[in-house]
Amino acid sequence: MPREMLERARQECNSWLIDYDARKIGGGKIRGRYRKGLLPITRMFDELFVDPLLLETMEDAFAPHGFCFGGCSIKAVVPGEDARPMHLDDIIFSEPRPTSPCMINVLVALDDFSEETGATHIVPGSHQWERPVEQDIDYISAEMKAGSALLLHGAVWHQNGSNKTSDEERRALSFAYRTRQVHWDSSREVIDELPTKLKDIYCSG
């Protein structure tokens, strides 16, 4: 993410985030923060969604069926928040899934991702496995500096790590591209407001 966009995002995203019950380390609930459906709220990231290198990568990953843009959200992992269960994102599409990946999630770090702050855990090679997701399994941590991006194949097993710090939030912008083979509902009003290049790749069913 360009530095200027990163600075603005870090400042402005706090006013977008809303509270929800997240899992607390050791059990119970903690006040988590997230926001789904950012497209109606800001035009700040439109340029990023149509970044030529990203689009080229998606062309390759989703060939020959083509792809579309599937929306954007922000999620914070707050101090004391536990890891989410290990999962894969393609599971939201019903079986049999027409292709793999059905989606690719791009996670841009708005704060540094470290093992302490809850960097994403990834199980290498799991996108090729057909067995159910296991929780107790070796993983690698996607530690990265703010502004860096992680591309998650829809079938790869992953989870956010737990945030073991007392005062360092780990926020991430997350946006997805999906195969055109899967139907997706979207709101016409939002689509009409998008810049042409983004509108062209927005999932319209």
Ligand X SMILES: O=C(O)CCC(=O)C(=O)O
**75 binds ligand X per the rule CB under 6 A:** yes
**117 binds ligand X per the rule CB under 6 A:** no
Structure tokens at 99: 């292709």
Question: ∠ CA 55-34-125 to the nearest 5 degrees?
Answer: 50
How many residues of this chain bind ligand X (CB under 6 A)? 11
* Among positions 70, 79, 93, 105, the unique one binding ligand X when judged by CB under 6 A: 105
Q: Is the dihedral of CA 167, 172, 173, 176 positive or negative?
A: negative
Largest Cα separation within the chain, whole Å, is: 47
Q: What is the DSSP letter of 83?
A: P
* Among positions 114, 126, 162, 174, the unique one binding ligand X when judged by CB under 6 A: 174
**120 binds ligand X per the rule CB under 6 A:** yes
* Among positions 32, 62, 81, 89, the unique one binding ligand X when judged by CB under 6 A: 89
Nearest to 71 by CA among 92, 85, 94: 92
CB of residue 144 to ligand X, shortest distance in Å: 11
- Interacting residues toward ligand X by CB under 6 A: 75, 84, 89, 105, 107, 120, 158-160, 172, 174
